[in-house]
C-alpha cells in the first residue's frame, strides 16, 4: 500500500477514533457506529478510506460486517517514521 494513503487516512481524527476502537478487537459496523456516535453513512465513508489504505480488514458473517485492524500496514508506516528519526540523530 502507498504510504501517502496510509498517512492521509491517519490524518483524520474520526478515522483515528475508529482505529482506537478496533484496537480492542473485531467489531461490527453497527456497534462501531453506536460506540462512536456516528451515522452509518459517516462511518461508511471513513471505513472506506481506512480500507483503501489497507489499515483495516472487513469480514462478513450472515447479515453483519465486522472490521479489525491490519497491523502489518501500521508497521510499514512506523518503520518509515523510524527511518526519519535515524537520519536526524
Q: Can you list the alpha helix ranges (DSSP code H) found in 26-70?
A: 29-36, 40-52
What is the percent of the chain with per-residue pLDDT over 70, rounded to a whole number? 96
CA distances from 84 to 9, 12, 88 (A): 20, 22, 7
Assess contact for 38 and 29: CB atoms under 8 A: no
Q: What are the chain's domains?
A: 3-88 (1.10.10.10)
Distance separating alpha carbons of residues 87 and 89, to the nearest angstrom: 6
Count each helix (H run) and each strand (E run) in the chain, helices first. 5, 3
Per residue in 22-43, pLDDT (tens digit) is 999 999 999 999 999 999 999 9
List 64's β-bridge partners, or say none: 61
Looking at residue 42, what is its pLDDT? 95
Amino acid at each position: 500500500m502507498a504510504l501517502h494513503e496510509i498517512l492521509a487516512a491517519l490524518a483524520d481524527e474520526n478515522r483515528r477514533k475508529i482505529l482506537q476502537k478496533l484496537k480492542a478487537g473485531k467489531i461490527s459496523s453497527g456497534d462501531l457506529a453506536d460506540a462512536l456516535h456516528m451515522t452509518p453513512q459517516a462511518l461508511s465513508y471513513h471505513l472506506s478510506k481506512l480500507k483503501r489504505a489497507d489499515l483495516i480488514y472487513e469480514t462478513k458473517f450472515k447479515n453483519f460486517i465486522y472490521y479489525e485492524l491490519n497491523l502489518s500496514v501500521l508497521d510499514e508506516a512506523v518503520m518509515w517514521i523510524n527511518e526519519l528519526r535515524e537520519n536526524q540523530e
